[in-house]
Amino acid sequence: MLTLDNVKLAVIGLGYVGLPLAVEFGKKRSIVGFDINVPRINALKAGHDSTLEVSDDELKTATHLSYSATIDDLKASNVFIVTVPTPIDEHRRPDLTPLIKASETIGKVLKKGDIVIYESTVYPGATEEDCVPVLEKVSGLTFNVDFYAGYSPERINPGDKEHRVTNIRKITSGSTPEVADLVDAIYNQIITVGTHKAPSIRVAEAAKVIENTQRDVNIALINELALIFNKLGIDTEEVLKAAGTKWNFLPFRPGLVGGHCIGVDPYYLTHKAQAIGYHPEIILAGRRLNDSMGAYVASQLVKALMKRRIHVEGARVLIMGLTFKENCPDLRNTKIVDIISELREYNVNVDVYDPWADASEAQHEYGLTTVAAPKAGEYDSIILAVAHQQFKAMGEQAIRALGKPQHVLYDLKYLLPSESSDLRL
């Protein structure tokens, strides 16, 4: 059985989750950061993180961290932490392909006594039912006899410089009580606020998947309230401010629900629920409503343009923001593309401006060409879609200067006072 002193770590997957984790461990102990993306590895070796989750200066502090895309460099490791994405496919079904491939990679170097810890968001049971059999098949070893598993769900919040790996409490678990203790001890080396040791891997998996499911359902409720209040001619933000004076009112806001977590994780839980014969009505209803918000925003804008007697077909619209959240370059599952797609159905000409988004990634992922700098006086409408700090700093006057003398300013993110915009969600 491994002890804390002889643990040799490797992190598999150096994205938004894996790199910050590897860097923190790399400040304290030897660790290999592995990723199949060779340009990513080369950039990290050169001292830069394109996701901007870790600064160049912070990368330098991880003096015990090495980077590799070569599987042979994993052979000396005995504890593997898997931090690969778990997306959904075009039919909104869980896509475990990255997780299975990572398990196959580890299986090729897995030895007796090794531990594999998964951090990727999955449905309850996935670690032991989907991943462990792959490890067994590739390695020829037996689970809980020759090797062991753990699950410690990631809690990374992209773009958040306040809540970091070390100051977010970590859930840990293991496939045996002894392994659970060791997994917990490993993470306690870097987590300053402590850990919560779950009684089983399945409990830890379930805890992770409901975190974002709960947020999704709450946002869906607020989105539905916004639809109602818009029809009643009531400002949703003012209603929420008033209701928020009660101590136990939850401070959710309406909006688009994208990204790799809130807009994805509920489908992992509903998939598992349906597999055991239960139809989760509330969760799926919330998902349907949140997934429809892009089309709703587009329809609201079209109506506003018509009321202003601005010709819709051929109108020029500037969307400010493309990433799924503010102050972050992450384009995964951004729902801004739903607005764009819907507006194009009306033959509206859409320009997208986002100082945080990588232009080549926007083109590759969505076929979108972003503008480097929008010109003043060009647009029939401006949509404030993402609350980037640069947009906040601009203020109403500079934003409106981008529009024609007669235009509609749609503030999706409540960046401006209510009287400063023409339309709000």
Amino acid (one-letter) located at 90 = E
218: left (phi over 0), alpha (psi -120 to 50) or beta: alpha
Residue type, 75: K
Please provide the DSSP assignment of 307-353 as one string. Answer: HTT--STT-EEEEE--SSSTT----TT-THHHHHHHHHHTT-EEEEE
What is the DSSP-derived secondary structure letter of residue 374? P
b/e per residue 365-402 (b: at least 16 CB within 10 A)? ebebebeeebeeeebbbbbbbbbbeebeebeeeebbeb
- For the CA atoms of 183, 186, 192, 193, the dihedral, rounded to the nearest 10 degrees, stands at 10
261 carries an active-site annotation: yes
Backbone phi, then psi, for 135, in 5-degree steps? Answer: -60, -45
The pair of structure tokens assigned to 258 is 């994208």
326 CB-near residues (< 8 Å, 6+ apart): 159, 386, 387, 388, 389, 413
Q: Positive or negative CA dihedral for 75, 81, 87, 88?
A: positive
- What whole-number distance in Å separates Cα of residue 49 and Cα of residue 186? 25
Largest pairwise CA distance in the chain: 74
Closest residue by Cα to residue 381 from 349, 359, 413 = 349
Catalytic residue among 126, 261, 319, 368: 261
CA 347 remoteness from chain centre: 31
Length of the chain: 425
DSSP sequence for 231-288: HHT--HHHHHHHHTTSTT----------TTTTTTHHHHHHHHHHHTT---HHHHHHHH
User: What is the C-alpha separation between 326 and 413, in angstroms, rounded?
Assistant: 10
Please name which of 108, 117, 100, 110 lies closest in space to residue 17, comparing C-alpha atoms.
117
Which positions are catalytic?
A: 261
